[in-house]
Structure 1
Amino acid sequence: MFEIRVICDPADADHVTTTLRATFATGDVRQYPTRDGKRTRLSLTADHHPEPEQWPTPEEAYALAPSIIREIGWTADQAANKPFGNRLPREFWLRKAAVLDRIALCDEAEDIHRDAAEAATAAAHRLMELDDTAVICDPRHYVRQQYAAWAKNQ
């Protein structure tokens, strides 16, 4: 942990604070006027962000996954048999996003350009919204990470 002190124009204080928070894990920012009263002193404790977890490869993430056909059947069955007015559980959205990602990966491997990648990305965004995550990453990488963790605990 270390301390950062910045002297800046008062109009820049919010921008400097936002930039520091994006770069470091920071504590509360303390603001004081400089002795001449024309600038602002910012003082905060900071630390490096923790190293991000490595994203699993598709092969790692889907090593324990059932066949694509089986997963399509499972998701279709879950959607069709959902009681009216009930929300589908997270497992449904995770498995749907994962199977769409796997279909898109097959298309990409064969250099086929259909809408599978768009559907996979949209489903991944839906999962991220459901998880209310602040992770900034490729949404399909997020699905792989979450699926790998889920499959490991099944």
Structure 2
Amino acid sequence: MFEIRVICDPADTDRVSRALAAAFDTNPARKYPTRDGKRARLYVTADHRPEPGPWPTSEEAYALARSIVREIGWTAQTVADKPFGVDLDREYWLRKAALLDRIALREDEDGVTGDAAEMATEAARRLIAYDRDGAGDYHGAPYWPEHPATDADPRGYVRQEYAHWARSQ
């Protein structure tokens, strides 16, 4: 465990605290004014995050998943029901990415060559971007959206998040 001290503009304290929490396992920041009163001092007790374990396997992630046909129907119906200009929510992006991942896995099993893996990876990146922007309520254990392993294996991130989502439904 170690202590981090940051001196910053008071308007940046929340952003700095979030960045430190993303990089380390932190306790809440203690905030004090600097001697001149123009800046803020943040003191954060932190520790290195434990080494994450492996991504969930596709069998673990999709054990509770509905059939691919039902998910295609749900995805299409969700888009059709949204009024023009209304953003789709995280559940849509998660389920779409998981659906495309499952289709790509099926193609691999059947020895079919197509673009499903590329589409699944792009959908996974869209979910990750959604979560990074703070719009999503991601699970993030063991890998959070900013983790380097997430960039290296976007579909693994989808499986992690889908497994958590499915268990909580």
TM-score between both structures, scaled by the size of structure 1: 0.69
1:135 alignment partner in structure 2:
147
Mapped to 2, the partners of 1:84 and 1:46 lie a distance apart of 45
Q: CA, structure 1 residues 55+70, in 2 after alignment: closer, same or farther (shift >3 Å)?
A: same
Structure of greater Rg: 1
Once the two structures are superposed, what CA deviation does each residue of 1:6-43 show, in whole Å capped at 9, x if it has no partner? xxxxxxxxxxxxxxxxxx9599xxxxxxxxxxxxxxxx
Structure 1: tracts of 5 or more residues without a match = 4-23, 28-44
Identity percentage of aligned residues? 62
Residue identity opposite 1:73 in structure 2: G
Structure 2: tracts of 5 or more residues without a match = 4-22, 27-44, 133-144
1:83 alignment partner in structure 2:
83
Tell me which stretches of 4 or more aligned residues in structure 1 moved more than 2 Å. Answer: 24-27, 45-49
Aligned length in residues: 118
Question: Is residue 159 of structure 2 the alignment partner of residue 144 of structure 1?
Answer: yes
Mapped to 2, the partners of 1:91 and 1:100 lie a distance apart of 14
Mapped to 2, the partners of 1:26 and 1:62 lie a distance apart of 29
Q: CA, structure 1 residues 25+94, in 2 after alignment: closer, same or farther (shift >3 Å)?
A: closer
2:60 alignment partner in structure 1:
60
Q: Secondary structure at the match of 1:128?
A: helix
Are the counterparts in 1 of residues 78 and 92 from structure 2 also a CA contact under 8 Å?
Answer: yes
Mapped to 1, the partners of 2:47 and 2:73 lie a distance apart of 47
